[in-house]
Structure 1
């Protein structure tokens, strides 16, 4: 569960106002102290990166012909997928 930015700000603001420790403030708001520690450094939640789910077989074949010596990591970057997805697609291709 992700807490709202307003709530995070309230926790940090009241912690500084009251001079409480991270543990004390976390206990007061009934949240984990690790969350409060993270919010001090970065109050905005991290955004997730979305990756492509399927690799177009014909595009992969073209890429292999165009770059026969490329590493799987390089192909993965070009296709926007993880290296394991390239490995699995190449394994199916055989």
Structure 2
């Protein structure tokens, strides 16, 4: 849970004023001990992640999508040497989406029976 900065500062100021331990202040405000310890180090919430660049090369993935447009994500993951979930996130970042289409002519006929007819 993310607590507002004003609440974090209030907890820390009361801890200093009343000379409370971390466990006491955590119990008093019904927050975790680890949260209070983290707030002592950096009271401001982090807005960005310090994460290294992804292993998946965007150009290689875009080329793979162009070369194999109907490939499954696990096939792409195997070709690029990464996880399937990583491929999923990378495709979302690239904006690649797949729309489902009716597979068989039979399902198209059934669907057409329910669609309004144009005169």
Structure 2: distance between partners of 1:21 and 1:42: 17
Q: Structure 1: which 5+ runs fail to align? A: 50-76
Structure of larger gyration radius: 2
**Relative contact order: is structure 1 or structure 2 higher (C-alpha 8 Å, sep ≥ 6)?**
1
Gaps of 5+ in 2: 68-78, 80-119
Aligned length: 64
Q: TM-score, normalised by structure 1?
A: 0.57
1:45 maps to 2:17: no
Runs of 4+ residues over 3 Å off in structure 1: none
Distance 2:41 2:63 in 1: 43
- Length-normalised TM-score, structure 2: 0.46
| CA positional deviation for 1:82 | 1.1
Note the aligned Cα RMSD (angstroms): 2.9
